[in-house]
A and B are shown apart, each in its own frame.
Chain A
Amino acid sequence: QQQVKQSPQSLIVQKGGIPIINCAYENTAFDYFPWYQQFPGKGPALLIAIRPDVSEKKEGRFTISFNKSAKQFSLHIMDSQPGDSATYFCAAIKGGSYIPTFGRGTSLIVHP
Chain B
Amino acid sequence: GAGVSQSPSNKVTEKGKDVELRCDPISGHTALYWYRQSLGQGLEFLIYFQGNSAPDKSGLPSDRFSAERTGGSVSTLTIQRTQQEDSAVYLCASSLRDSSQPQHFGDGTRLSIL
Contacts and interface: CB of A to CB of B under 8 A. Distances in A.
B105 A43 contact: yes
Contacts of B102: 34, 46
Contacts, number: 54
B48 interface: yes
A112 to B, nearest CB: 26
B62 interface: no
Contacts of A28: none
Interface string A29-71: 0001010000001111110000000000000000000000000
B71 interface: no
Interface string A1-44: 00010100100000000000000000000001010000001111
Interface residues of A, number: 22
The range of chain B's interface size is 20 to 34
Query: Main SS of chain A's interface residues?
Result: loop
B105 A104 contact: no
Contact of A42 (B42, B103, B107): B107
B106 A97 contact: no
Contacts of B50: 98
Interface of A: 4, 6, 9, 32, 34, 41-46, 89, 93, 97-105
A68 B33 CA distance: 28
